[in-house]
A and B are shown apart, each in its own frame.
Chain A
Amino acid sequence: MTQAKKLVAPGLSEAEAIQRAQRGDAEAFEGLYGLHKRRVYSLCLRMTGNTAEAEDLTQEAFLQLYRKIATFRGESAFSTWLHRLAVNVVLMHLRKKGLPEVSLEETLEPQQEDGPKKDIGARDNVLAGSIDRVNLERAIESLPPGYRIIFVLHDIEGYEHNEIAEMMGCSIGNSKSQLHKARMKLRDLLKLSKAEKAARH
């Protein structure tokens, strides 16, 4: 499976396809699209939570890829480079739309709504073992945009806080704070979902 993923098509490696695409080979570009479309689209969908926007942004990301692929020098993995490009496309779009609904300048001080205080002295059922993919995806979708973006970038896409801070133009502390709040919010959402499910039976 691993090997299959590295092939654009039988007999054609991703590296060969990149070289051809850099020379303007439209077929090679199509092959690269086929190989990476799902991950780029999923990234856009998870960051925006909107199918139509995600499709537009996926299109824009691959158009930028086509225009810029000649500048790819292989310092990083191609997928890393492409995903960074896609993240920038999404963030640019969100900036144009207006800032995320949750301010990036919040401090680490716990807040009434999202902070951890509510857990003090109250022991709930733990989540471990109870999360399935569908519920988690739904809960992520329900997060406020600011939380969702950081969570997707850090916990799903694997970016480090310093990279997120650079991309989003915020401090590393803010990135950490937002991520923590996102996880806390997700925990609430998942517990709610679990409680609702239990009530039905």
Chain B
Amino acid sequence: MNCAEFQKSLPEIIDGAGTAEQDAHGQTCPVCSDLVRDLRYIAEQAKLLMPMHDPSPRVWAGIQTSLAQEGLVRPSVGRFQPTVIPGGNRFGTYARWGAVAALAIVAFWLIGTRTPGAGPEQPSTTASDTAGSGAGAMDANDQKLLAVVSQQAPERAEVYKRSMRDVNSYIADARKSLDQDPSDDEAREHLLQAYDQKAMLYDMATSGPRE
């Protein structure tokens, strides 16, 4: 058997289905044995490849939007409340961090649901002392969220307020950079990251242990 004949049957040989004659050639011919070794090595290394990347938070946000549009799901109150009932669980918390848009919408809706009367007469955190101006400025949703935190856990209002400002500054910085150069992938990555942080903050505010 020569090299050309041997290499014609390579797929079978790689799979370990070679004939005795082919095996004999493989053992004596360094070129063919290197080839077999390389191809087997590639196949072995490929089997070791792990899934490496998570999809962007946009994917989950898109799924939620599509399901909602199809009327398949609606946000439920229970998903953001600590659960004590049998079988209940606060799972999915971490998977949710990136679902920025959905989180904001649901948290906003939740605030209105869980705190009747919260809004105009916000207890200790008022629009004037939270909204501010500049990069860390807060929108109406942010202020409502802080009002709820102030009402339910006043001692923690300050840390939420500071965090909200910092996250909003992060969003503003990244957005400004992206506006200057829309092709800047780094800025885009930072913007998504900043929104993830904001989603985390909303989630923590609405899933806390206040009872």
CB-based contact B54/A37 at 8 Å: yes
Task: Report the minimum CB–CB distance from A193 to chain B (whole Å).
Answer: 13
Count B-side interface residues using an 8 Å CB cutoff.
50
CB-based contact A38/B54 at 8 Å: yes
CB-based contact A62/B63 at 8 Å: yes
Cα-based distance from A27 to B106 in the complex (angstroms): 14
Quick one: which of A30, A45, A110, A155 has the most chain B CB within 10 A?
A30
CB-based contact B67/A119 at 8 Å: no
Task: List residues of chain A with CB within 8 A of the CB of B124.
Answer: none
CB-based contact A120/B31 at 8 Å: yes
CB-based contact A151/B46 at 8 Å: yes
Identify the stretch in A51-59, A87-95, A96-104, A163-171 within 8 Å (CB) of chain B at 4 or more residues. Answer: A51-59
CB contacts under 8 Å to A, within B34-92, are 34-35, 37-39, 41-43, 45-49, 51-56, 58-60, 62-63, 66-67, 72-74, 76, 78-79, 89-92
Q: A84 in the interface, Cβ–Cβ < 8 Å? A: no
CB contacts under 8 Å to A, within B1-43, are 3-4, 7-8, 10-11, 14, 30-32, 34-35, 37-39, 41-43
Residue from B32, B37, B59, B78 within 8 A of A55 (CB atoms): B59
Q: A74 in the interface, Cβ–Cβ < 8 Å? A: no
With A59-B66, A122-B31 known to touch, is A31 a contact of B91 (CB < 8 Å)? yes
**Number of residue pairs spanning A and B whose beta carbons lie under 8 angstroms apart:** 158
Q: B159 in the interface, Cβ–Cβ < 8 Å? A: no
Task: Report the minimum CB–CB distance from A43 to chain B (whole Å).
Answer: 8
Cα-based distance from A131 to B194 in the complex (angstroms): 36
CB contacts under 8 Å to A, within B130-151, are none
CB-based contact A45/B53 at 8 Å: yes
Task: List residues of chain A with CB within 8 A of the CB of B63.
Answer: 33, 59, 62-63, 66
Quick one: which of B30, B47, B49 has the most chain A CB within 10 A?
B49
Count A-side interface residues using an 8 Å CB cutoff.
61
Q: B175 in the interface, Cβ–Cβ < 8 Å? A: no
Cα-based distance from A158 to B59 in the complex (angstroms): 26
Cβ proximity bits A100-126 to B, threshold 8 Å, 1 near / 0 not: 000000001010000111011111101
CB-based contact A183/B89 at 8 Å: no
CB-based contact A12/B54 at 8 Å: no
With A34-B95, A117-B4, A128-B38 known to touch, is A9 a contact of B90 (CB < 8 Å)? yes
Q: Which residue in chain B gives the minimum CB-CB distance to A155?
A: B46
Residue from A12, A45, A183 within 8 A of B43 (CB atoms): A183
Task: List residues of chain A with CB within 8 A of the CB of B93.
Answer: 9
Q: A200 in the interface, Cβ–Cβ < 8 Å? A: no
With A9-B92, A33-B63, A116-B10 known to touch, is A131 a contact of B45 (CB < 8 Å)? yes
Task: Report the minimum CB–CB distance from B34 to chain A (whole Å).
Answer: 5
Task: List residues of chain A with CB within 8 A of the CB of B190.
Answer: none
CB-based contact A41/B47 at 8 Å: no
Task: List residues of chain B with CB within 8 A of the CB of A124.
Answer: 34
CB-based contact B91/A9 at 8 Å: yes
Residue from A9, A41, A67, A110 within 8 A of B51 (CB atoms): A41
Instruction: Show the binding face of B for A, using Cβ within 8 Å.
Output: 3-4, 7-8, 10-11, 14, 30-32, 34-35, 37-39, 41-43, 45-49, 51-56, 58-60, 62-63, 66-67, 72-74, 76, 78-79, 89-96
- Of all A-B residue pairs in the complex, the 7 with the closest CB atoms, nearest first, are A9-B91, A34-B95, A42-B51, A116-B7, A155-B46, A41-B55, A26-B73
Name 10 extra pairs, CB < 8 A, besides A8-B91, A11-B91: A10-B89, A27-B76, A34-B94, A43-B51, A108-B8, A110-B8, A120-B4, A156-B46, A177-B11, A187-B42
Could you give 23 example pairs across A and B, Cβ below 8 Å? Answer: A12-B89, A30-B60, A33-B63, A42-B52, A55-B55, A55-B58, A63-B66, A115-B7, A116-B10, A116-B35, A119-B7, A119-B31, A120-B3, A120-B7, A126-B41, A127-B38, A127-B41, A136-B42, A137-B49, A155-B42, A155-B47, A156-B46, A183-B43
